[in-house]
Structure 1
Amino acid sequence: MSHPASTPSAPPESLPPAPAASPDAGQDPERYWLEHVYKGGSRQLTVRAVIAGMLIGMVMCLSNLYVILKTGWSMGVTITACILAFAVFSGLKGLGLFKKEFSPLENNAMGSVASAAGYMTGGGNMAAVPALLLLTGTLPSAGWLVVWFAVISALGVFAAIPIKRQLVNIEALPFPTGTATAATINALHGHGQEARSKAWLLGGAGLLGAFVAMLRELRSVWLSTHAPSWLQPPLIPSKLSVPFLSIRGRPAGDWGLSFDLSLLLIGAGALMSWKTGWSLLLGAILTYGFLAPAMVDQGYIAEVSFKAINTWTLWTGAALLVSSGVLSFAFQWRSVARSFKALSGLFGKKDEGAAADPLAGIECPPAWFPLGFAVLGPVAVGLMAYLFQIPVWAGVLALPLAVVMGVIAARVTGETDTTPTKALGPVTQLVYGGLAPGNVAANVMSANATGGVGLHAADLLTDLKSGWLLGANPRQQFIGQLFGVVAGAAIVVPVFNLLVPDASVLGSEDFPAPGVLVWAGVSKMLSVGLQALHPSARVGALCGALLGVALVLLDRWAPKAAKPYIPSPSGFGLAIVLPGSSSISFFIGAAIAEVLRRRKPKLAEAAVMPVGSGFIAGESLMGIALVMLKAFKYMPK
């Protein structure tokens, strides 16, 4: 996701030049950057930047894990991490614990470490592995999964090396989130009121989100049995039903059309686009107000509960999400074609020697790419064979496929700010569905491999775009990314095992995990065929697929004035597999943010991102803390 950029009113000398300071036509952009932008003598990948990045990235990884299991969305990491790091180091310097200021390039390097750790939940990692648990009932041990995640993610980092200079230095692709991160660091280290306001808003919203989550979850636990009544927290229900509204003689809340009292969902909605927000509401109303009651009447859905409804609607939602994602990706064929052109140059003969290269001592050496794959590739193939019983030939095939997917994902992200893992994952599943029919593990985990490589290649290039604008050393950012990969893999697996002790947790109202259900559904369909589905579910899947195609085509070909009124395929599709209460809360957050953008644009630019991120982080981390307290017997279950 991209966030609105902000610029300082008077940037100090340590910050990058104004955007107008760019090379003239015909001038070598790399040499110009080296002479006018690069700040080789500045502090960058310091010990404190690495430690802060690993710690903040691990916290953000836990937050994203909780959010993905709740909503299927993966939230932005880097900008929030940079604001948080700035606030922490400013406070520590004020206390006299640090003498040197936390520099802009240190913050940028910290962001590279934090994003690698925080995005460990993306790229299919926290869709494929839970899907495998859902389909087979078992997973490899925690230690092996940590190694798996670290290896796949590190391969993605190495896959970014040969295309970085072409996409970032030469073509200057926008990478909107990377550009926004550089502008945010500019604003923060300008030491203006904006920096302090964002830090306070992020922290305050986080505390409020944690407090509300605690009040909601502590209704019948330790305080209710050990504390006097005047110390007990007020009761906050988890959901509020819509009064006086009934469907088929039952309260609307029974069908899922209620308001979820979750600041996490409201904050996440605020970070979405308005179009996605109202599409979620529309999808929820149509699914739980009309489609589900009709299917109950027909006897296709056994009972009025989220689990029973979702068992049927999953196929419609999954088909819509996959068809719209693949078609949207197909319309980006020019980016794909340019990606393959870049691929052809990876192994081409280089005319210039290292001595003629102005950035030879700053950029990652080209040899690191084949060396990284030579070392980690066999490890990845071995893990596929040992952990998931994927044939060696299929594992070997996954490596070049992962490089292709990484190059495509990086370019599409650079041009659109959207990493197409929702399309690349199903494409890989289709490939392996034909090559290894009936092998569920090969189908799911090969897609995890290619998706993980694609995400981390795109993530590193997004961070390197920030560094390019700020004058950072790309080789140091690359090294920082590897530190983050290790930190993210080490934290995400044990906490996932704590949150999801068995497959029954997935697809519940507590953890709807829509992304997991989609991956599992696609794999199951490819493994056993459409004939294994109930005829009504096949019709639902066909309707979902056609609707996904129709929405993409309408959005592409409709008149410009009509496009704002065409539902978002991703929002509409997610609403079909999410609880209706979650979609309603998403909509409320998106509506609040949209009203602010229209009526108070300056306030919206300053407050929406830090407040929304704070709500998400506060509630998700408190939710994980409460689960841990229950697991370790400090709270009754």
Structure 2
Amino acid sequence: YLFSTMGAAAVFVAVRDGLGWIPSAWSSVRLYSRNIFFGMWISPMAVGIGYIIGPLFTGVWFLGAVISYFFLIPVGVAAGWFADVGSATAFKDSLGIGLMVGTGVGILLKGILPRAREIYLPVKSSGKGSRMKTLRWIPLVFAAIALFLTTLTEMTLVSSLLTIVGVWLTTAMAASITGQSGINPMEIFGIIILIAVKSVASLGTIEAFLVAGVVAVACGLAGDVLNDFKSGYLLKTNPRAQIVAETVGGVIGAVVSVIVLFIMFRAYGTMGPGTELPAPQAYAVSTMVGGLPNTPALFFGLVIGIIIYLMKLPGMTLGIGMYLPMEISTAAFVGGVISLIVGKIKPESKETGMIVSSGLLGGEGITGVVLAIIRVLTVS
């Protein structure tokens, strides 16, 4: 199932993006004239993501989109709450990001701080034996190397030091929350540290991106690695072999991902909501770096996000739906509905659906990169 669906998705994307025979998205012109932006991204990947996430989270995700595109924008403009669609969009974007940041703060307040000793004490403990005492210094060596590398960029010494401290704090949080929930809000950790550094140091645009980027990437890697070790522990995998594999994969991934990013940028140009590469996590960070479109909406969303998280509701997913384009939310929601139907009618096929969805993700992702490379080479 995996490779067959991967191949099917690859063919579909080649026909859609390579030949242009299938539109990448559909939107309702009639509703658009009324400032209701409803449509659907014609993407196997988005449907697969929705299936994997499941009906609950895609339902909340879609609810956030409905609140934004069926209420805040059309009703807000018609009622005079906002001067125009642009102002309404800025409000809903800031509100959505605030919900996400608020969820991150809620995780910090409820999930991390009460367990701070449990999370950070093992880092301080020396362990038994000379070998453990030697290993204890390895993180400090890597921290020193990272500090040196950041000073070679446009970051000042103060922002570099604060970033490294932020990485030390947030990677433990990311590893803990990923192990518990399977969700790693790495961009939220990047935003939190960015706000903290901005409060004590003046940052330029590039420097601010570096602070958030370093923290987010470190948290993403920490969460993935620790989640892999969790799986390895359950499967009784050799930890030493895992360490080697994770190290090699991390180094190679750091190089390859940058190359792919530049290829995608050369091929598609602008990234963010409303483009072929929406990049929601990066968009949230860029919004914080470039200046908030609506600061009161952000702080209102932040407070609501904390409250929603403390009520054990998926506030982050709601925020994602509020600021992502409606087309992506609709496609993911379709995947969630399919997951719900399969679970009700034929629950034994739910796992097969996961494999099929993984194939859809891989097929569209790989084909997209290949088409981007072809586009860059032909243009050059």
2:251, 2:108 → 1: CA distance?
31
Deviation per residue, 1:1-27 (Å, 9 max, x gap)? xxxxxxxxxxxxxxxxxxxxxxxxxxx
Aligned 8 A contact 1:335 1:408 in 2: no
Q: Pick from 199, 207, 229: which aligns with 1:464?
A: 229
Per the TM alignment, residue 295 of structure 1 is displaced from its structure 2 partner at its CA by 4.6
Aligned to 1:156: none
Match of 2:40, SS state, is strand
Alignment of 1:398-417 (within 5 A): 398-417=163-182
Aligned 8 A contact 1:329 1:423 in 2: no
5+ long unaligned stretches in structure 1? 1-200, 221-234, 355-359, 557-565
Aligned 8 A contact 1:281 1:583 in 2: yes
Alignment of 1:595-610 (within 5 A): 595-605=341-351, 607-610=352-355
Aligned 8 A contact 1:202 1:611 in 2: yes
Aligned to 1:317: 96
2:94, 2:59 → 1: CA distance?
22
Q: Pick from 588, 591, 596: which aligns with 2:337?
A: 591
User: Bigger radius of gyration, 1 or 2?
Assistant: 1
1:541, 1:423 → 2: CA distance?
13
1:550, 1:589 → 2: CA distance?
28
Aligned to 2:37: 256
Aligned to 2:377: 632
Per the TM alignment, residue 432 of structure 1 is displaced from its structure 2 partner at its CA by 0.4
Residues 1:339 and 2:122 are matched in the alignment: no
Higher relative contact order structure (alpha carbons within 8 Å, sequence separation ≥ 6): 2
Aligned to 1:492: 257
Q: Pick from 609, 612, 627: which aligns with 2:357?
A: 612
Per the TM alignment, residue 426 of structure 1 is displaced from its structure 2 partner at its CA by 2.5
Deviation per residue, 1:158-195 (Å, 9 max, x gap)? xxxxxxxxxxxxxxxxxxxxxxxxxxxxxxxxxxxxxx
Aligned 8 A contact 2:31 2:37 in 1: no
Residues 1:575 and 2:359 are matched in the alignment: no
- Paired AA for residue 239 in structure 1: A
Deviation per residue, 1:499-525 (Å, 9 max, x gap)? 124973334331222211211222344
- Paired AA for residue 428 in structure 1: I
Aligned to 2:24: 238
Q: Pick from 360, 365, 368: which aligns with 2:135?
A: 368
Aligned 8 A contact 1:398 1:450 in 2: yes
The verdict on how the C-alpha distance between 1:366 and 1:413 changes in structure 2, with shifts beyond 3 A counting, is farther
Per the TM alignment, residue 249 of structure 1 is displaced from its structure 2 partner at its CA by 4.5
Deviation per residue, 1:18-66 (Å, 9 max, x gap)? xxxxxxxxxxxxxxxxxxxxxxxxxxxxxxxxxxxxxxxxxxxxxxxxx
Per the TM alignment, residue 483 of structure 1 is displaced from its structure 2 partner at its CA by 0.9
Aligned 8 A contact 2:105 2:306 in 1: no
1:440, 1:467 → 2: CA distance?
40
1:510, 1:218 → 2: CA distance?
13
- Paired AA for residue 100 in structure 2: L
5+ long unaligned stretches in structure 2? none
Aligned to 1:379: 145
Aligned 8 A contact 1:467 1:474 in 2: yes
Residues 1:475 and 2:240 are matched in the alignment: yes
TM-score normalised by L of structure 1: 0.54
Deviation per residue, 1:342-392 (Å, 9 max, x gap)? 3332x4xx4x446xxxxx7xxxx5523423542x434322322222x2222
Aligned 8 A contact 2:58 2:336 in 1: yes
Q: Pick from 548, 551, 574: which aligns with 2:305?
A: 548
The verdict on how the C-alpha distance between 1:396 and 1:552 changes in structure 2, with shifts beyond 3 A counting, is closer
Per the TM alignment, residue 463 of structure 1 is displaced from its structure 2 partner at its CA by 2.3
Per the TM alignment, residue 263 of structure 1 is displaced from its structure 2 partner at its CA by 0.7
Per the TM alignment, residue 204 of structure 1 is displaced from its structure 2 partner at its CA by 1.1
1:465, 1:249 → 2: CA distance?
51
Per the TM alignment, residue 570 of structure 1 is displaced from its structure 2 partner at its CA by 2.0
Alignment of 1:197-236 (within 5 A): 201-220=1-20, 235-236=21-22
Alpha-carbon RMSD across the aligned residues, in angstroms, is: 2.8
* Structure with the bigger percentage of helix: 2
Deviation per residue, 1:291-338 (Å, 9 max, x gap)? 1224544463356xxxx8754532121111111221133211333341
The verdict on how the C-alpha distance between 1:393 and 1:503 changes in structure 2, with shifts beyond 3 A counting, is farther
TM-score normalised by L of structure 2: 0.87
Per the TM alignment, residue 278 of structure 1 is displaced from its structure 2 partner at its CA by 0.9
Per the TM alignment, residue 627 of structure 1 is displaced from its structure 2 partner at its CA by 1.7
Aligned to 2:274: 508
Aligned 8 A contact 1:266 1:585 in 2: yes
Per the TM alignment, residue 420 of structure 1 is displaced from its structure 2 partner at its CA by 4.3
Q: Pick from 318, 327, 337: which aligns with 2:106?
A: 327
Aligned 8 A contact 1:207 1:618 in 2: yes
2:295, 2:176 → 1: CA distance?
35
The verdict on how the C-alpha distance between 1:549 and 1:402 changes in structure 2, with shifts beyond 3 A counting, is closer
Match of 1:593, SS state, is helix
- Paired AA for residue 520 in structure 1: S
1:267, 1:595 → 2: CA distance?
14
- Paired AA for residue 210 in structure 1: A
Match of 2:118, SS state, is helix
The verdict on how the C-alpha distance between 1:519 and 1:207 changes in structure 2, with shifts beyond 3 A counting, is same
**Residues paired across the two proteins, number:** 376
2:213, 2:67 → 1: CA distance?
32
